[in-house]
Amino acid sequence: MALVVLVGVGAAPSVHAQFGSSRVISGGFTGCFEPDLAYRVGDRLSVTFTRAGEIFHTQSGNDFSSFGGVSQSPLQASSEGRVEVTSIILLDVVYAEVAPGGSDTEIYLVDNNGGVFSNPIALTDNALNDRNPQIDVGLSGIKTIAWETVLTPASREIYVQAAGDTHFVALGDHISLASSSSSVAYIAYVRAGEAFYRTLSAGVLGPESQIGTINGVTSIDIERRADGQVDAALSAGNDLYFAAGDGSGGFTAPVSIATATVAGEVDLSPEVAGRRLICYAEAGEVHVLSDEGSGWVLETLTSGASSSDPRGLVDPHGDAHVVWSQSGQIRYAYDGPPPAADFVGGPTTGVLPLTVTFENQSTGTISTTIWDFGDGTATTAPNPVHDYTDVGPHTVTLTVIGPGGTDTFTRTNYVSGTLPPEVLSVAKVSAFAGQNVLHPVTATTTQAMQGFQFGMVFDDSNLEFHGIDFALSATEALSPEFVYTDYTPGGVGSELIVAIVLDFVEPFDGRSIAAGQNILLFSLDYTIDFPLALGTTISFQPTDGLGQPPLDNIYAAVTGVSVHPFLRGGRAEVDGMPGALFRRGDANYDQLIDIGDPIFLLAHFFALGPAPVCPDSGDANDDGMLDIGDAIFDLSFLFSAGSTPPYPFPGVGLDPTDDALGPCAP
């Protein structure tokens, strides 16, 4: 890209960063023309363009990766089908379109406040062709819209509309529109090769005045500068001119700032952050003049290409954005810094629930921020605070998207939590469609308990719930004397309440569940629907305050104290059907968990005994290895109130954790 300082226009200019390489932002579309752009709150760049008689919209917030329609019927095929877009709060788009049931074109307005575009509002209704609409939203929020009505191929009338009133302006074409800081609308136009303007203030049109005495004017554009005055850029013959607002409502004499034979319309941007642009096409190339208060600097963005319709603006950071049509595609160039993702957070270790505050340290202009916390949740908040309820470790990823592209930064295994002493958990399991599942609910506690309350919200949309099952649980071994269950079906809001009292009927014998880790209290008994898509996830979340009267999840300690445990939700994820199912801890594969299983493992390790036909069933502690630790784990569970084997247990099922152990023999 060529960078040229135009000597003699002003003092030595302050040269801004050069534009980076342009990129296509119209996706795989071809035949795209007439782009325009607007900057919105939140550093979002919106771009519109036409293709095959339709208007499309895209934005930097999604890295120009999706495209929505704006118009609702085909546009009039015309070289003057210009679409104008602007934004103060709403995104406003004006365009000319064939009237329903007619053959003439009318002017329509649509707006967008961040969602979908509104239905079109017709601004004209006549039997003539209305073309080349322009829109300006003043600092007071008043929308002013101007357009040309074609009388004959050589004669056009100019109209302006504001506050619901329409005014005839003059004969002419090549219209442009801008508002001063005092909410005076300027309407500039060309007639017979000369440039003119009128003002509209409080519904009253001012007299027609000429902008300089230049002949052969082919295009004009006016825009507001930082002090509220209105400036003008004009093309005539082989020159490009600039006329500044004179401070009294008029313009200074136009001054040539570049030698150029402009093709199409010249485009002047509003002055923002002390900078403004003039964009134009010449001989199929796109050129940008930039002024930061010290003089104009010329940069050529394309070379020897078939380019047209350039439009540019300056954002609040002083960076320039330019779009144009090139070989039927919309291209975009930007001279600001690309987004670079970075963040820190803390604390990154601690007892669950662990609250981590993240600080976004990304640089560059950023439209969209996407956090992936590594626990299945995400947010677009710029500096989020997140509560972790799983041990982890959790890998955290930040993606930032801006006009300059997309960048991602990852901190691997960044957040790790430790469980508190009292925990109530629903397991995370894998199952297949049609499988009957025994889904463990376990307790970790430092105190022996005489009973417990359990409440859970879950999604029964894709399963048939049968109830609870005490098989192989610590509860079953103690023959509880009071068992209460209440299942309320309801799709994603289904509820289950369970209450257990071990010793309820005289004589009281003091039976209790001993303190320990991962004690199996009971299993949820259900059958997953068939068929059901792979990857479907069914959630189970222990929840306080269910039922009437409301019940919390508690352990009834033998000391008489109600202990409120930390609640860990679980899930069932639908996987493919394996060749064989297994039960964790069943090393000898006889469908039982008993003393024979640790003996089988010890014989295999130390007496040349056979290997387990299902390695995962022998991996009692689920560490991905077969070793003496598995035999010790089985013995501890069977005889020392040790931890319950991880899923699949107590029923058979799929292994929810990946490891290098071989498959089960069928």
More confident residue, 321 or 337: 321
Place of tokens 């417990």: 452
Which is more confidently placed, 252 or 102? Answer: 252
Query: What's the rounded mean pLDDT across residues 421-445?
Result: 95
* Confidence category of residue 537, pLDDT binned at 50, 70, 90: very high
Look over the chain and give the mean of its residue pLDDT values, rounded to a whole number. Answer: 90
Determine the pLDDT at residue 251: 97
Does the pLDDT value for residue 10 go beyond 50? no
Query: Among 58-72, 138-152, 228-242, which range has the highest average pLDDT?
Result: 228-242
Q: In this predicted structure, what is the pLDDT of residue 666? A: 66
* Domain harbouring 562, CATH code: 2.60.40.680
Closest CA to 481 of 511, 457, 437, 460: 511
Query: Among 24-38, 184-198, 429-443, 479-493, whose mean pLDDT is lowest?
Result: 24-38
Q: How far apart are CA 64 and CA 70, in angstroms?
A: 15
CATH number of the domain to which 409 belongs: 2.60.40.10
Examine residue 377 and state whether it is found in any structural domain, yes or no: yes
Between residues 381 and 101, which one has the greater pLDDT?
Answer: 381
111 confidence band (pLDDT: 50, 70, 90) = confident
Is position 285 within any domain?
A: no
Residue 356 confidence (pLDDT) above 90: yes
Same domain, 508 and 566: yes
- pLDDT attached to residue 153: 87
Instruction: Please tell me whether residues 443 and 535 are part of one structural domain.
Output: yes
Q: What is the CATH number of the domain that holds 87?
A: 2.115.10.20
Give the mean model confidence (pLDDT) for residues 329-338: 92
Contact status, residue 298 vs residue 287, Cβ threshold 8 Å: yes
In this structure, the answer to whether residues 453 and 353 fall within a common structural domain is: no
pLDDT single digits (tens) 70-79: 654 444 433 3
Domain total in the chain: 4
Check residues 389 and 84 and name the one with the higher pLDDT.
389
pLDDT for 99 equals 74
Burial 273-311 (b: 16+ CB within 10 A, else e): eebbbbbbbbeebbbbbbbbeebbbbbebbeeeebbbbb
Give the pLDDT band of residue 1 (cuts 50, 70, 90): low
Q: Mean pLDDT check: name the lowest of 31-35, 303-307, 601-605.
A: 303-307
Q: Count H helices, E strands: the chain? A: 4, 51
Give the residue-averaged pLDDT of 293-308: 90
Select from 81, 28, 32 the least CA-distant residue to 323: 32
Q: Choose from 18-22, 517-521, 632-636 the range with maximum mean pLDDT.
A: 517-521
Q: How far is CA 59 from CA 42, 72, 112, 405, 618, in A?
A: 12, 20, 13, 11, 55
Structural domain contains residue 112: yes
The answer to whether residues 465 and 453 belong to one domain is yes
Pairing of strands 405-418, 394-402: antiparallel
Separation of alpha carbons 408 and 471, rounded Å: 48
pLDDT at residue 609, rounded to an integer: 87
State whether the Cα torsion 184-190-192-196 is positive or negative: positive
- 506 domain residue, yes or no: yes
Same domain, 412 and 442: no
Q: What pLDDT sits at residue 606?
A: 83
Distance of alpha carbon 556 from alpha carbon 562, whole angstroms? 5
Mean pLDDT of 313-327: 94
Query: pLDDT band at residue 259, thresholds of 50, 70 and 90?
Result: very high
Q: Where does a domain end: 101, 119, 137? A: 137
Give the C-alpha distances (Å, rounded to integers) separating 593 from 416, 420, 428, 565, 615: 33, 29, 21, 29, 15
Token duo for residue 396: 């955290």
Query: Do 427 and 573 belong together in one domain?
Result: yes
Is 617 contained in some domain? yes
Q: What is the reported pLDDT for 181?
A: 82
Verify that 429 and 456 share a domain, yes or no. Answer: yes
Q: What percent of the chain stands above pLDDT 70?
A: 94
- Which one of 98, 122, 137 terminates a domain? 137
- Decide if 592 is inside a domain: yes
Q: Which residue has the higher pLDDT, 265 or 64?
A: 265
The reply to whether 86 falls in a domain is yes
Q: Using an 8 Å Cβ cutoff, are 515 and 448 in contact?
A: yes
Q: Of 577, 603, 637, which residue constitutes the final position of a domain? A: 577
Range of the domain at 608: 578-666
Sign of CA dihedral 51, 55, 56, 59: positive
Mean of pLDDT values over 329-345: 94
Asked if pLDDT for residue 268 goes beyond 50, the answer is yes
Could you tell me if 540 and 456 are in contact, meaning their C-beta atoms sit under 8 angstroms apart?
Answer: yes
Q: What is the DSSP letter of 275?
A: B
- 588 and 463 in a common domain: no
Check whether 117 has a pLDDT greater than 90.
Answer: no
Statement: residue 220 has pLDDT above 80:
yes
Give me the mean pLDDT over the 156-172 stretch: 95
- CATH classification at residue 653: 1.10.1330
pLDDT of residue 70: 66
Q: What are phi and psi of 284, to 5 degrees?
A: 80, 10
d(CA 114, CA 90): 8
Co-location of 654 and 533 in the same domain? no
Kindly tell me if the per-residue pLDDT of 347 is higher than 90.
yes
CA separation for the pair 324, 67 (Å, rounded):
17
pLDDT tens for 13-30 read 444 568 888 999 998 889
Main-chain dihedrals φ then ψ at residue 281, nearest 5 degrees:
-110, 140
Lowest mean pLDDT among 110-124, 162-176, 180-194, 480-494: 110-124
Which residues contact residue 414 at a Cβ distance below 8 angstroms, ignoring those fewer than 6 apart? 345, 348, 374, 393, 394, 395, 396
What does the pLDDT read at residue 303?
81
- Whether residue 470 sits in one domain with residue 365: no
What pLDDT score was predicted for residue 98? 77
Reported confidence tier of residue 608, pLDDT bands at 50, 70, 90: confident
How far is the C-alpha of 435 from the C-alpha of 109, rounded, in Å?
Answer: 57
Task: Give the range among 36-50, 314-328, 525-539, 548-562 with minimum mean pLDDT.
Answer: 36-50
What's the rounded mean pLDDT across residues 321-335? Answer: 94
Contact call for residues 489 and 460 (beta carbons, < 8 A): yes
Does any domain span residue 305? no
Same structural domain for residues 562 and 586? no
Coil, helix or strand at residue 477: helix
Please report the pLDDT score of residue 71 as a whole number: 57
Q: Could you tell me if 568 and 652 lie in one domain?
A: no
